[in-house]
Amino acid sequence: MRRLAAIAIVSICTTAAVAADFKRYENGRFGYEIDLPADFRTMLTPENGDGIGLESVDGTGKLSVWGNYVTEGGFAQESDLRRKFESDDGWKFTNEKRSASWASYSGVKGDRIIYMRQIALCDDAMGSFTLEYPASKQQRYGPLVDRMVKTLKAPKNCN
């Protein structure tokens, strides 16, 4: 009986640790929106209004969310350029998925994981987020990535 109670307690604690509250972020400049982990603190808010930089409370997770205008001939080429910037910084990409209007990349550098997501926006722009975190905390950060991928959205109507 004690063993069953212990398993139940561990299951509840694990579920609580994985579950996270989120807050909606809407970018006024580019019109994209995304759910951000509520327990991350804002570290940077650029004056140009393109996005936001955040960090987990324990300092292990670094999250950047931004929009930019496509400068390299189209969404796919701009996406490739953004990926190259990270590769040049030492990241080794191990997974890549893409379509005409979105791209996702994940990779490693040492004991850290990076996840990048990009979507096409209105007016030849793109919205992106990058989350970098320790590989040892994949159980915590994996569900956050899943939620942010699902909620990173372009404006419904482009004018």
78-114 pLDDT tens trace: 999 999 999 999 999 999 999 999 999 999 999 999 9
User: Given a cut of 50, is residue 10 above it in pLDDT?
Assistant: no
| Element spanning 93, H or E | strand 92-98
**Which residues, at least 6 apart from 145, have a Cβ–Cβ distance to it below 8 Å?**
115, 131
Model pLDDT, residue 158: 78
Ramachandran assignment for 115, one of left (phi > 0), alpha (psi -120 to 50 degrees), beta (any other):
beta
Q: Which amino acid is at 132?
A: E
Model pLDDT, residue 18: 46
Give the residue-averaged pLDDT of 56-82.
94
88 vs 7, higher pLDDT: 88
